[in-house]
Amino acid sequence: MRGRLLAAGGALGALVVLGSAVPAAALPPADVPPADVPPADVPAAAEDAAAAPTVQCQITEPGLAELSGLVAVGDRVLAMNDGGDRVAVHLLDPACQVIDVHTAAVDPYDPEDMAVAADGTVWLADTGDNTATRTTVALLALRPDRTTAVYRLTYPDGPHDAEALLLSPDGTPYLVTKEVLGASGVYSPAAGLVDGGTVALAKVATVNLTFTGTPGGPVGQAGQLLVTGGAVAADGRHLALRTYTDAYVWPLTGNDVVGALAATPVRIALPESPQGEAISFTADNLALLVASEGLPSDLTRVPLATEVAAPPTPPVGPVPRFTDLTSSGLSPITSALIAAAVATVVVWVAGRLRRRP
């Protein structure tokens, strides 16, 4: 990176404060051993279990001609471009119109993905390296208070091209490399991030993808193996990686990204697009949002397969009355048993009262 980041722009920072503060880059212990992930065995019925994708709107902003990162924030979307001579995060309304732009005075090398932490910090992964020649890559942090930081990272096994960023609920960043043979490495900082300094990455997992037959992308069948984007659901229950053609969704428990990636994902075929790299979970966590480079670009909502869709968040309200069993979430059999038990107790108490003088 050349120069120190300086934040500018309008009200974007205030709009992305999504929850209570957590460490912006909580890191795993340095001695976490690498763990390989078995090949992704794709369930054949996964695609049929989801409803049809729908185009929400079309992105036409010239500054997003090389769209590479998306994050849904309520009914709005944060979007970033792959390239340019200045960091810029666009805020889009439900009709894909730009309503704000947040910029930082830095000329990024090759930003590829984006995530938003629970404290509202927007993280950009400046990790693209098509020629595998970069000695360091970087994470750029745009904080809600309009301060910024750059954290440089170095791989333990030589340069990699990485286009996917997974940010766990506790703020730990994971980079997923883009490998032509389908065996993508997963890397995370081995120590605490240092603003302006360089920290070593550790390889913590491997994700193996196979050919799927889904059409799309600029490189034919090889695009079925290349990881081009990543996302973690706002409720922390799922994470996803995408290729040019497909999305893979894993359940996530707590902050265990490595453990999640060791499981078998559900594959969802994505609509054919010229160069699909951007992916996000929707704010309700029931679908994916995807988009492609090139203008106009369809912002498409892809419902999650039924076996992975998160259940709706229960409404906050008073505890259901004991007699109101139909609204308690219990099964009919369980409700009947409880009701019978209640009736028995009532009869017994009534009998005891009748025996009193």
Nearest to 310 by CA among 251, 255, 265, 354: 251
Asked if pLDDT for residue 216 goes beyond 90, the answer is yes
- Of the ranges 45-54, 101-110, 227-236, 338-347, which is most confident? 227-236
Can you list the alpha helix ranges (DSSP code H) found in the chain?
12-15, 257-261, 332-355
Residues 186, 257, single domain; the answer is yes
Mean pLDDT, the chain, as a whole number? 80
Q: Which domain holds residue 351?
A: 325-355
Residues 244, 349, single domain; the answer is no
Mean pLDDT of 180-205: 96
CB atoms within 10 A of CB 197: 11
Residue 207 CA neighbour count, 13 Å, CB half: 32
Instruction: Tell me the pLDDT band of 25, cut-offs 50, 70 and 90.
Output: very low
Residues 242, 332, single domain; the answer is no
Mean pLDDT of 286-290: 97
Task: Decide if 310 is inside a domain.
Answer: no
Task: Decide if 316 is inside a domain.
Answer: no
**Which residues pair with residue 217 across a beta bridge?**
none
Residue 147 sits at φ, ψ, to 5 deg, of: -90, 160
Percentage of the chain exceeding pLDDT 70: 72
Task: Decide if 223 is inside a domain.
Answer: yes
Residues 338, 219, single domain; the answer is no
Q: Supply the pLDDT for residue 187.
A: 98
Residues 139, 63, single domain; the answer is yes
**Which residues pair with residue 90 across a beta bridge?**
79, 101
Distance in angstroms between the alpha carbons of the first and the last residue of the chain: 90
Asked if pLDDT for residue 97 goes beyond 50, the answer is yes
Q: Position 80: which residue type?
A: M
Q: Supply the pLDDT for residue 85.
A: 86
Q: Supply the pLDDT for residue 136.
A: 98
Residues 46, 157, single domain; the answer is yes
Task: Decide if 89 is inside a domain.
Answer: yes
Asked if pLDDT for residue 346 goes beyond 80, the answer is no
Q: Supply the pLDDT for residue 344.
A: 44
Asked if pLDDT for residue 278 goes beyond 50, the answer is yes
Cα separation, 90 vs 323, whole angstroms:
51
Contact (Cβ atoms closer than 8 angstroms) between residue 158 and residue 173 = no
Asked if pLDDT for residue 339 goes beyond 90, the answer is no
Instruction: Tell me the pLDDT band of 188, cut-offs 50, 70 and 90.
Output: very high
Residues 48, 128, single domain; the answer is yes
Asked if pLDDT for residue 281 goes beyond 70, the answer is yes
Q: Residue 50 carries which DSSP code?
A: S
Residues 337, 238, single domain; the answer is no
Contact (Cβ atoms closer than 8 angstroms) between residue 147 and residue 105 = no
**Which residues pair with residue 185 across a beta bridge?**
206
Cα separation, 157 vs 1, whole angstroms:
21
Residue 233 CA neighbour count, 13 Å, CB half: 24
User: 173-182, 282-291, 344-353: lowest mean pLDDT where?
Assistant: 344-353
Residues 145, 62, single domain; the answer is yes
Residues 274, 342, single domain; the answer is no
296-305 confidence digits (pLDDT tens): 999 999 999 8
Task: Decide if 165 is inside a domain.
Answer: yes
Q: Supply the pLDDT for residue 83.
A: 83
Task: Decide if 3 is inside a domain.
Answer: no
Task: Decide if 313 is inside a domain.
Answer: no
The separation between CA 83 and the C-alpha centre of its own chain, rounded to angstroms, equals 21
User: In the chain, how many domains are there?
Assistant: 2
Residues 213, 339, single domain; the answer is no
Q: Which two tokens stand for residue 216?
A: 């799309």
46-71 confidence digits (pLDDT tens): 444 458 999 999 999 999 999 999 99
Asked if pLDDT for residue 196 goes beyond 80, the answer is yes
CB atoms within 10 A of CB 331: 9
**Which residues pair with residue 289 across a beta bridge?**
280, 301
Instruction: Tell me the pLDDT band of 307, cut-offs 50, 70 and 90.
Output: low
Q: Supply the pLDDT for residue 106.
A: 82
CATH number of the domain within which 172 lies:
2.120.10
Residues 66, 169, single domain; the answer is yes
Task: Decide if 5 is inside a domain.
Answer: no
Asked if pLDDT for residue 213 goes beyond 80, the answer is yes
228-276 confidence digits (pLDDT tens): 999 999 999 999 999 999 999 999 999 999 999 999 999 999 999 999 9
Instruction: Tell me the pLDDT band of 9, cut-offs 50, 70 and 90.
Output: very low
Q: Supply the pLDDT for residue 105.
A: 86
Mean pLDDT of 204-226: 97
